[in-house]
Structure 1
Amino acid sequence: MPVTTADVGSSPASDPRASTPIVIRVLRIGFAVLGAVALAWIPLRNIDVEAFSVANYFSYFTILSNVATIVVLLVGGVLDPGSRAWQSVRGAVTVYMVITCAVYAVLLANIDVMLTDRWINDVMHRLLPLVLLADWILAPPRTKIEDSQVLQWLAFPAVYGVYSLIRGEFVDWYPYPFLDPREQGYVSLAIGLVVLTVALTLLALAVGAVGRLAARWRYRNDAHASFV
């Protein structure tokens, strides 16, 4: 039986989406280890400090997004899943880290958010967001990511905001000034959150668009790719 072009194109060995280059996978694992060290540094250093709160520490969006980043980098480095669901998870966590970087740069750079060690700040707020964004571009999603799917990724930041406001009422502590109604009042808080929501939506859509553009370029010779 003759081998057709379609048969060749469907072969896993000839499909450029079949796997991620080994160099990228090794780098993923290396950055995951670095992130894990940075993440554990503050709790370990403050293990005997009575004022330190583990619950508060893990109530920062930065910490939660970095935990997700470590998981994504490790799974991507060791297993490199190719499923549509996994590509969506990668995209969502990339968005969360871009949000972490942007919000820190614009709103929190001169505010104490518990991460007083400069190298930890740099790793969590700058380096790892850039790593995930670069990974999203160099090893783009293997399935098309629609804008409607990107908007669904914003459910987690929305739930996080509600959680922070509700928890803050009970423990009298808020992770970020823009989520703290005690001084600014609820009207100013609501206006600020609307503006922030619009900004984060645009950031998320930009990340999704970058992934699609990178996929078109990376897989442009794949007859079975559908990124247009």
Structure 2
Amino acid sequence: MSGFGIAGPLMMANGALISGFGFTANGPTGQSWFLWPGIALMVFSSFTELFIRYDVLWLAIKGGCIELVNIFRRLLNKDAWADAEDDDDPVPKYEQVPLLWWGTGLLASVIFTCFVMGFMFGMPVYQSLIAIILSFMLSFIGLQASGQTDINPLGSIGKVTQLVFAKMPAESVKAVQKNNLMAGNMAASAAAQSVDMVGDLKTGHLLGASPRSQFLAQMVGSVFAVI
């Protein structure tokens, strides 16, 4: 606001800018002059917010790593490895969501996402997979932050992914920008959907609803939402 509303008109009045908007080789414009400093401020503010909540970040990473280890240990028919705080699950086994259900859905979602990103936006498969992995990891941060502060740091999550994709190879600058934007969108969307679904599961838990039934309802709703 201060850039486009105050500094921009003053710089145009002094002849430092040739126009308020657009990109041209004839000289700097207000849009080209203030765009990148504005983006830099957004990135640094997002990272500052993330580092201030370093404890939330650590708990989210720790919880995600433990859950991944537990998944692989269950697949190998071994006892789960977890903190003492996470040993007791209040939901009976027959009401929990089976690994086959969400595992199959996860695999189908990964394949479909790679197809859409490649077919619609020209993103290479390996970049789509990197974005999916980052989205998965950063979703834990969104969940932990939302649970402790009631704020989902979608801006920070998207900016972290965009920073990783800043140097990803592409055939043109436009393709780099497009892939960067889509990767950030994937991460932020994954975090938003994760927080929404966990919030629904929490409400259902407080009401005594079955997580398995809620999962089926979410799956049916997602299918019709896409259609």
Q: Which band: TM-score by shorter chain? A: 0.3 to 0.5
> TM-score normalized by structure 1?
0.35
More helix as a share of residues = 2
Relative contact order higher in (CA < 8 Å, ≥ 6 apart): 1
**TM-score, scaled relative to structure 2:** 0.35
